[in-house]
Structure 1
């Protein structure tokens, strides 16, 4: 999945969801039960998902799953109207931080019983991934991805600068980035940046939370309390503003997609991203390495982003059972490995041995980093407004505004979003 397709566009339609009016189509007893599955996977991950769906359809006679592929933003914009009109999907995949929004509106069925049955292969699903699909103590989804953000670096640029190791701490990160920043004509605008750290729309909004975590800060506590206005977060913003603006190791005013473009063109030696960076690097003939986000003053931490499947609430017990059968198939031993190797995401189940995915170096690297990954806004219903407030905070902080005032403003905005 590319980041461009992962980042969501417009918000949810304002109209209230009228699920009670959603009809269901009972299948003829002589015909297989047909389920529609919306997802936004379009790269190699899409190919492997389509193959798993095809294999599932071939594995039995009673269920046929038909996929419909749309950009993630389109799914986000059209799901509620489609469900209200009675022509929505039976299964839908979406970025996991969006799932609580729909669960809170009654769009998805509970999967607590699914997780309670050992036959469904869900008991060992990564705890952080499960946390992202849990809203008010109820599980509403089955993850298709849970991955820590990581540093992707251009090996050729590292070698040219005589740098042999990826940075391990924030101080190392800044020093390495300084060495890799090149301003050949001395005009104050580097031709090559040591790193690109976007200040808004940042890596599906996970970059700055990761930096806050590394210095002992945070954004939301317990799903309902804003904690953005803290001394730890103020120190984080001061540190990175000094490095980005003062030392010019990264451009300002750049969003996540712009960061990908700088890295892919060789104009930035390091960036922060997810598995999609593998495809970007390959498309641009960049020999890349993957390293953890360097440790902050307090801890080694990274944000983890995810994608999850859910079953829509359309009052059809047979379809729910059929969808759960597919979920169990998706999570079985063979498909857990097949999906991980093909998608580039770490295994969803913690009991998959490391050697089962060792042939894919990206998966192996990211799997090792999953131990210190923190899920992005787990269980937060109004995640869009929360992340928008973080974007505004970071962009204005790097533009030079007063950090203390910005944090107080963000605290009010985020708490207001949580209270809606």
Structure 2
């Protein structure tokens, strides 16, 4: 039997929305039908679809139909579909796409939902919410948000008698101790750390290091600060440490680091939840730990996907989607989502103990407060990240750090001015 209280709640929201519709906006008869496009194709997609089915079964007023598309396909086809009125009312977007879509007028804002006392939004992770804020308005609700984390090879740590590092100085010392160059030819057979210098996992390694060092890339007010003294100090610290210790290969992208760790060639790397599966399939005994703290603590850039209501939705459909959001963020649903998807929960109500049966999710839940949004609200994020990558890669290769960050500053300012 379907839950009458849920149906009543839906009817209340829908009636409120309908009362605000113009005379030219017809009120749908029967269930309000919502098309929902997302790009989750693995276990996360299965549990998301299952939760939508559970929501549909819980009441009679809203019916959501999911369509799973590869992310590239979704991003290529959704905007043209909206233009022809054949797109979805609800869409999952990688967070960096939210400001782009919002600037094109393709999204409804969610300020009324966030402001409603009974929406459930007050328990959401604030940093996760920040990924959907553009020009002071909320254009998204979080769907997945996981901070960059450190994976380490437990067997290598045990063999070397090294403790898991918690500060930058300990991190460098551990990386040096775990580096093995048996024949002394300058090319270690085992590296202590895979320090990515461009195309990093989730584009987040250097934003994390810069923020942990007290700096930033672009502030939430849109000010470019890549050439700050704090960032110069951070990049100098890591360039000097690497030059002295040779504890990481140079020229690494995120995929390169994943490959080295799964091949047992490196003791520590920075990655997301998928590295647990990769490590298990490669028979690597691994541990998970927060990024070691810099001078400003631990600020781990997060990989994020958001839920947005498209401009195709009527007021009635928008209200129906908001009802689903309130249902989705209930504690029991967050636990189900996290345990099956591998992503940490999105609300403060869920504790590590609630998801303890999945050790990876539990560890990531403990680290969730460390997460920070990557370039929230920045539209030309690709241009900004390209300029950052150029600076970090050339700096670690021996370039002049102040000059490189100064050039990146100008490129980013130009990109944001366009």
TM-score after normalising by structure 2? 0.89
Any idea what the Cα deviations from partners look like across 1:70-116, whole Å, max 9, x if unmatched? Answer: 33233333332222233222211122232112112111101111112
Q: Deviation per CA, 1:17-55, whole angstroms, max 9, x where unpaired? A: xxxxxxxx989735x443222212223222221211121
Per the alignment, residue 118 of structure 2 pairs with 119
Q: Which residue of 2 is the match for residue 283 of structure 1? A: 281
Structure 2: give runs of 5+ residues left out of the alignment.
1-24
Alignment-derived partner of residue 253 in structure 1: 251
Deviates more, 1:82-91 or 1:172-181: 82-91
User: Is the partner of 1:225 in helix, strand or coil?
Assistant: coil
Partner of 1:41: 40
Q: Name the structure 2 match of 1:388.
A: 386
- C-alpha distance in 1 between matches for 2:176 and 2:88: 50
Aligned to 2:106: 107
Other-structure match for 1:272: 270
Following superposition, the deviation at residue 160 of structure 1 comes to 2.1
Unaligned runs of at least 5 residues, structure 1: 1-24
1:388–1:77 Cα change, 3 Å: farther
Aligned equivalent of 1:292: 290
Q: Could you tell me whether the CA contact under 8 Å between 1:209 and 1:303 is conserved in 2?
A: yes
Q: How many residues align?
A: 395
Secondary structure at the aligned position of 1:64 is classed as strand
Partners of 1:215 and 1:316 in 2: how far apart? 45
Match of 1:189 among 187, 190, 193: 187
1:11-410 correspondence to structure 2 within 5 Å: 29-30=29-30, 32-163=31-162, 165-410=163-408
Give the direction of change, closer, same or farther, for the CA distance of 1:388–1:79 in structure 2 (3 Å limit): farther
Aligned to 2:9: none
CA distance in 2 between counterparts of 1:396 and 1:70 reads 37
Higher-Rg member (1/2) = 2
SS of 2:118's partner is helix
Q: Deviations along 1:234-266, whole A, 9 cap, x unmatched?
A: 121122122334422111112111111111111
Distance 2:317 2:385 in 1: 34
SS at match of 1:407: helix
Partner SS, residue 101 of structure 2: helix
State the alpha-carbon separation in 1 of the partners of residues 245 and 223 from structure 2. 35
CA deviation digits over 1:165-214, x for unaligned, max 9? 21111111111111212223333222221111211111111110111112
- 1:381 Cα deviation (Å)? 2.3
C-alpha contact 1:120 1:331 (8 A) present in aligned 2: no
Alignment partners' CA distance in 1, 2:185 and 2:26 = 69
Q: Check 1:71–1:250 CA distance in 2 against 1; reply closer, same or farther (3 A cut).
A: farther
Q: Distance in 2 between matches of 1:252 and 1:39?
A: 36
C-alpha root-mean-square deviation of aligned residues, in Å?
A: 2.1
Paired with 1:178 and 1:78, the residues of 2 have a C-alpha distance of 48
> Structure 1 residue 320: deviation in Å?
1.6
Distance (whole Å) between structure 2 residues aligned to residue 302 and residue 226 of structure 1: 19
Conservation of the 8 A alpha-carbon contact between 2:351 and 2:365: no
Secondary structure of 1:110's match?
coil
CA distance in 1, matches of 2:267, 2:27: 55
Kept in 1: contact 2:127–2:372 (CA 8 A): yes
Distance across 1 between alignment mates of 2:115 and 2:28: 30
Which sits farther off after the overlay, 53-62 or 143-152? 53-62
The answer (yes or no) to whether the contact 2:352–2:363 under 8 Å persists in 1 is: no
Change (3 A) 1:26 1:159: farther
List per-residue Cα deviations over 1:303-342 (Å, max 9, x = no partner): 2232111011015223222222221221112101111222
The Cα offsets for residues 107-138 of structure 1, whole Å up to 9 and x where unpaired, read as: 11011111122332212111111111111121
Q: Give, in angstroms, the shift of residue 399 of structure 1.
A: 2.3
